Amino acid sequence: MELRHLRYFVAVVEEKSFNKAAERLYISQPPLSRQIKQLEEELGVTLIDRNQRPLKVTEAGGFFYEHALQILQKSDHLRAMTMRKGSFDSSLSIGFVASILYGTLPKIISRFRQAYPTVQIKLHELNSWQQTQALTSGDIDVGFGRLLFEDASVRRILLREETLVVAVPINHPIIQEGRTSVDIADLINENLLLYPKTPRPSFIDYILGLFEANNLKPSCYFEVSEMHVALGLVAAGEGMTIVPKSLQNLRGQEIGYLPLEQGLLTSPVIMNVRHFDKSALLKTLLEVTYQVYEEEGFVYKREQI
């Protein structure tokens, strides 16, 4: 069994016709039929019910189709990642979520440039899920995100846990009362502005998960397109939002930032890389990250690439 057999079979299943599949594959119909027949003989099962019009897969054929798709997808990802690896020494493509750009990422990139002044760095704003897709497609080489997704081809390195704070309009009673912190339970009846609205899953789901973990459910929350919109609406007095601590200097004359009394409410900062990618560029980038963290006094757990 070879990859071409899988591609031929998938084409027949999706086109529901040997003739249409042959046209899609740019081959003639008789050789295609023979290849599918050989595949069935090798497996010892019938995959396609040829008496049906349009063609239909058997139960075994449906099972084989789903797994064939996964194998072909992994094969395509491997090809794309390997091709990207070939040009790795001259450029480095970095994906990032917007909130991390307000933290230490600019300093990390600046110091990395000092170590590799001839390497071209390309930055791409991508959410955590998009980073996973971009890594497997070869569009980026490393990503800095905040959500954990399971993918066999991507390794997640937890860099640190960043404290979350509540952004509150400066004239809100909570600020006027002089409070220095807020309980997450105090937020369930407030207008919460959560972001980003799309694509999902996103930081919204992470924040809602924190409420659920504390047996709470916000009574009123609104989904907005991005972090800057949420903070703009907070500044206008339209509600509150929750952001990582590194953002607490934004719009300081209009917004007050209060830590949550539940000090363990944090957002992870995650470095995403392809599994088994042990390039010198990535090792240096991780080491530079740890150097900056030490200078900033952050608590982190050191890992190796």
pLDDT tens string 129-175: 899 989 988 899 999 999 888 887 899 999 999 999 999 999 999 99
pLDDT at 37: 93
DSSP string covering the chain, please? --HHHHHHHHHHHHHTSHHHHHHHHTS-HHHHHHHHHHHHHHHTS--EETTSSS-EE-HHHHHHHHHHHHHHHHHHHHHHHHHHHHTTTTEEEEEE-HHHHTTTHHHHHHHHHHH-TTSEEEEEE--HHHHHHHHHHTS-SEEEES-----TTEEEEEEEEEEEEEEEETTSHHHHTT-S-B-GGGGTTS-EEE---SSSS-HHHHHHHHHHHTT---S-EEE-SSHHHHHHHHHTTS-BEEEEGGGTTTTTTTEEEEEBSSTT-EEEEEEEEETT---HHHHHHHHHHHHHHHHHT--------
- What integer best gives the mean pLDDT of the chain? 90
Task: Count how many Cα atoms sit within 13 Å of the Cα of residue 212 in the half-sphere of its side chain.
Answer: 6
Give me the pLDDT at residue 148, please. Answer: 82
- The pLDDT value recorded for residue 263 is 66
Name the burial class of residue 198, with classes exposed (0-12), middle (13-18) and buried (19+) by CB atoms within 10 angstroms of its CB: exposed
Please tell me the distance from the alpha carbon of residue 167 to that of residue 191, in angstroms, as a whole number: 12
Asked if pLDDT for residue 277 goes beyond 90, the answer is: no
**Residue 93 φ then ψ, to 5°:** -100, 125
Dist CA 170 CA 33 (whole Å) = 71
pTM over 0.75: no
pLDDT of residue 81: 66
Mean pLDDT, to the nearest integer, of 253-259?
Answer: 95
Residue 288 has pLDDT above 60, yes or no: yes
Q: Cα separation of 259 and 164, whole Å?
A: 7
Can you give the pLDDT at residue 283?
93
Residue 244 confidence class, pLDDT cut points 50, 70, 90: very high
Q: Quick check: 75 pLDDT over 60?
A: yes
